[in-house]
Structure 1
Amino acid sequence: MSTPPTGRTWITAEWLSETGGSERVVERLAAAMPRAEVFTPVAFAQGAPSIARERIHAAFRRPEALMRRREAAAAMNAASWSTWGRTLDRKADLVVASHHMSSHWTAAYSDVPHVSYVHTPARYAWFPELDGRASSLPARALCAHIRRMDRKAAPRVRAYAANSEATRQRIQQVWDRDATVIHPPIDLGRFAGLEPAGGEPFVLGLSRFITYKRLDFVIEVAQAAGVPAKIVGGGALEEELRAKAASARVPVEIVTGTTDAEVAQLMADAAVLVYPAVEDFGLVPVEAMAAGTPVLALDEAGTRETVVDGVTGYLLGGLDASAWADKVGAAMALDAAACRTRADEFSEESFEESILEWISAAVDS
């Protein structure tokens, strides 16, 4: 059993907002290193609820209005790291970054050893073909700053870990660094004992309501399959999705404002999760499998590493709604127990053990 690092440890994160994949990783890092303090430019009142509030140091608290504009939140990040970075030599012995935009930048300002767990190099800055949200002039200027700061910080980080093989390849491509692959943790306890509530089968789309998640395509698959759909989440595209749902040839329900428990039950109730996003890892498909629900996903990036084709779902090339619809029935017939067994490989305990081993090796090198 690996042990937490000794000495003063900082965990850095871009923001702690509504619970998502990166926030859950920060929570597990904090659980694995119970003496570490967490530094973030932006913290919601309910962000990362499992971490004691006195452990969280934030430049801005409860910035809900600003967080509605990601450019504002990103600018707040960019303005914070240099100040904190310059204090590190007096206040920390180790920095563990949870990175998807800027949190490893403190390495550019300090000689304190840094290690970085990477969800992705900022996709809108490095891979706009995958995430086209940074189209405005201010956003493009910010992306140039992100690339410049990443190039300064990356050579100074002692070790990188990547959440998937796809992310490892991106790190190699843009920063010329190798990384250890450590898949993110799944809270398997959320799904323990869940059983479908019964009722008419439906396909599930679950994510933030943003463009690259392609929830409109989920509705198209449901129409082509002749199966009702539920689209669960929230975000900027809610009105567009409601309009598409209203004109669909099958019943489509848009569900927002759900609790974690309600989302888990919806996953268990669904006949199949349709997940057409290109993801760095993709927690949602693994969570669906933990609930016993098979997955239809793209044969690309993170889902290629998690969904076992023909066993826990099907991997498809391209976005042809008819081809996806043709697999809905076959996916419904897959074994729920096999889905749960696959999800068990991504436990929180396995993640924490792997993280501590990686940190220990990096610090000792």
Structure 2
Amino acid sequence: MSTPSPSGSIRPPIILPPNGVLAHEWIEQYGGSEQVLAEFAELAPDADILCLWNSAQGRFKEARVRESWLARTPLRRSKVASLPFMPMTWRIWRNKGYDWALISSHAFAHHFRTPGMSFERIFVYVHSPARYLWAPEIDSRGHGFARTIASSGLRAIDRHAARHPRTLAANSEYVAQRIARSWDRTSRVIHPPVDVERLSTVDDWAELLTENERTVLDKLPRPFLLAASRLVPYKAIDQTIRVGKKMGIPVVVAGAGPDRDRLESLAEELGSHVTFLGRVSDEMLYALYQEALVYVFLAVEDFGIMPVEAMAVGGRVVANSIGGTAETVEGIGQVAPAKDIEAVAEAVERVAAKPRPNSLSLEKRFGRARFRSEIAEWIEDVL
């Protein structure tokens, strides 16, 4: 169960009270959780940012970022190997005058504590309880070593830590339900920020491409289905390739990752027309959203920022009927069970016949100004 986020008009930008601290698992150059952290950093411009390690030097002012002891060890190169040390690490931070904390958690950052700070003043924004502990069926990291340490008591430790903060926020209703199952806690749903305001200001993203990018875009077959994400198994790009084969429509794959060889072999085996572009620029990605017949996104995601970005630039979307994406595309795109190729193909046909989406409603549901307003309201209710 969850408590819905408050509705109403969006207030002017607000700065959170002084003497706070922000915490985030580890900082990468790209990622939806990092976008949340970036908004937190603007809401609390003087707050330190605590993390296990920082792999995105320059993204935040170096003077603000404090890394843990793990950053000085080889463990920073292996998230799985460092898992047993994470809960303990989040419990030993020195208090440098912090009065409250805003936590961005998708593993163990919600274990954070520091001397002199009441749990009543710790706010935890939950991207998900650690998938490899609580949802190993949809996260391959839940197998092997991670599953072994889960069975050794880490789940009990994690559940106990989640009972301490007074209030939790979830990034989707789907995650709120997982929080209730895993931690027996209610949470307030606040969808992550998507830069709908900026994305919707460009009518044709192809006009912003480099000459080489425009050449690549113009040579793509029309129509095509788009599959764009990191190339890892749980993103289910193989299912999009199968849908394209069934419908006789070429598939364009944008993204890089360890699953590329397997996906190329599958395309060859099926005799499918699949074009692999590798990693592309943001401008190229947005242009692909606009040029594609449909963006097919079949991963089980906790929220799923990319389908919202696609709809913000006018792209049509079909998403998995399981997960946070089923919430985000509701009323705009189509959903279907990812494992049912025929159902996905029918959803593609339905959404392709609809007008392209308008960004106005998306801004109210997912925009950055809306996110800041809801986060500030959540914290002010307590502080």
Q: With the length of structure 1 as denominator, give the TM-score of the two structures.
A: 0.88
- Alignment partner, residue 89 of structure 2: 80
2:362 matches 1:343 = yes
- Alignment partner, residue 70 of structure 1: 79
2:50 matches 1:39 = yes
Secondary structure in structure 1 of the residue aligned to 2:142: coil
- Alignment partner, residue 59 of structure 1: 68
Contact 2:315/2:357 (8 A) holds in 1: no
Q: Select which of 286, 300, 314 maps to 1:264.
A: 286
- Give the Cα separation in 1 of the matches to 2:288 and 2:223: 11
Q: With the length of structure 2 as denominator, give the TM-score of the two structures.
A: 0.84
1:25-48: CA deviations, max 9, x gaps? 11111112212221111211357x
Q: Select which of 222, 227, 242 maps to 2:249.
A: 227
- Give the Cα separation in 2 of the matches to 1:299 and 1:283: 16
**1:249 maps to amino acid:** G
Deviation (angstroms), 1:73: 5.2
Secondary structure in structure 1 of the residue aligned to 2:308: helix
Deviation (angstroms), 1:61: 9.6
2:274 matches 1:244 = no
Q: Select which of 14, 25, 37 maps to 1:14.
A: 25
Q: 1:167–1:110: structure 2 CA closer, same or farther, 3 Å change rule?
A: farther
Backbone CA RMSD of aligned residues: 2.6
- Alignment partner, residue 5 of structure 1: 16
- Give the Cα separation in 2 of the matches to 1:32 and 1:81: 23
Q: 1:227–1:67: structure 2 CA closer, same or farther, 3 Å change rule?
A: farther
Deviation (angstroms), 1:355: 0.3
Q: 1:196–1:30: structure 2 CA closer, same or farther, 3 Å change rule?
A: closer
Q: Select which of 163, 181, 191 maps to 1:183.
A: 191
- Alignment partner, residue 349 of structure 2: 329
2:334 matches 1:314 = yes
Deviation (angstroms), 1:110: 6.2
Secondary structure in structure 2 of the residue aligned to 1:96: strand
Q: 1:248–1:79: structure 2 CA closer, same or farther, 3 Å change rule?
A: farther
- Give the Cα separation in 2 of the matches to 1:23 and 1:153: 23
- Alignment partner, residue 7 of structure 2: none
**1:232 maps to amino acid:** A
Secondary structure in structure 1 of the residue aligned to 2:229: strand
Q: 1:352–1:138: structure 2 CA closer, same or farther, 3 Å change rule?
A: closer
Deviation (angstroms), 1:169: 1.4
1:295-330: CA deviations, max 9, x gaps? 111222312211134xx2211135211221233233
Q: 1:229–1:136: structure 2 CA closer, same or farther, 3 Å change rule?
A: same
Q: Select which of 98, 121, 133 maps to 2:141.
A: 133
- Give the Cα separation in 1 of the matches to 2:77 and 2:228: 20
Q: Which shows bigger deviation, 101-110 or 281-290?
A: 101-110
1:114-138: CA deviations, max 9, x gaps? 1100011112101222223221135
- Alignment partner, residue 212 of structure 2: none
Deviation (angstroms), 1:222: 1.0
- Alignment partner, residue 352 of structure 1: 372
Deviation (angstroms), 1:150: 1.9
Q: 1:229–1:109: structure 2 CA closer, same or farther, 3 Å change rule?
A: farther
Q: Select which of 95, 99, 102 maps to 2:101.
A: 95
2:34 matches 1:26 = no
- Give the Cα separation in 1 of the matches to 2:301 and 2:104: 17
Secondary structure in structure 2 of the residue aligned to 1:16: coil
- Give the Cα separation in 2 of the matches to 1:307 and 1:257: 25
- Give the Cα separation in 2 of the matches to 1:280 and 1:358: 21
Contact 1:10/1:37 (8 A) holds in 2: yes
Q: Which structure 2 segments of 5+ residues have no match?
A: 1-10, 207-217
Contact 1:96/1:115 (8 A) holds in 2: yes
Q: 1:360–1:216: structure 2 CA closer, same or farther, 3 Å change rule?
A: same
Contact 1:107/1:156 (8 A) holds in 2: no
- Give the Cα separation in 1 of the matches to 2:270 and 2:360: 35
- Give the Cα separation in 1 of the matches to 2:143 and 2:34: 26
Deviation (angstroms), 1:162: 0.6
- Give the Cα separation in 1 of the matches to 2:165 and 2:247: 48
1:308-356: CA deviations, max 9, x gaps? 34xx221113521122123323322222243x23422310010001000
- Give the Cα separation in 2 of the matches to 1:66 and 1:237: 24
Q: 1:341–1:348: structure 2 CA closer, same or farther, 3 Å change rule?
A: same
Counterparts of 1:292-307 in structure 2, within 5 Å, are: 292-307=314-329
Counterparts of 1:136-155 in structure 2, within 5 Å, are: 136-137=144-145, 139-141=147-149, 144=152, 146-155=154-163
- Give the Cα separation in 1 of the matches to 2:357 and 2:302: 26
**2:122 maps to amino acid:** H
Q: 1:97–1:196: structure 2 CA closer, same or farther, 3 Å change rule?
A: closer
1:229-249: CA deviations, max 9, x gaps? 112222221221222233343
Q: Which structure 1 segments of 5+ residues have no match?
A: none
2:225 matches 1:203 = yes
1:135-177: CA deviations, max 9, x gaps? 1135531575642332232121021011111111111222121
Q: Which shows bigger deviation, 229-238 or 103-112?
A: 103-112
Q: 1:292–1:16: structure 2 CA closer, same or farther, 3 Å change rule?
A: same
Q: Which shows bigger deviation, 66-75 or 22-31?
A: 66-75
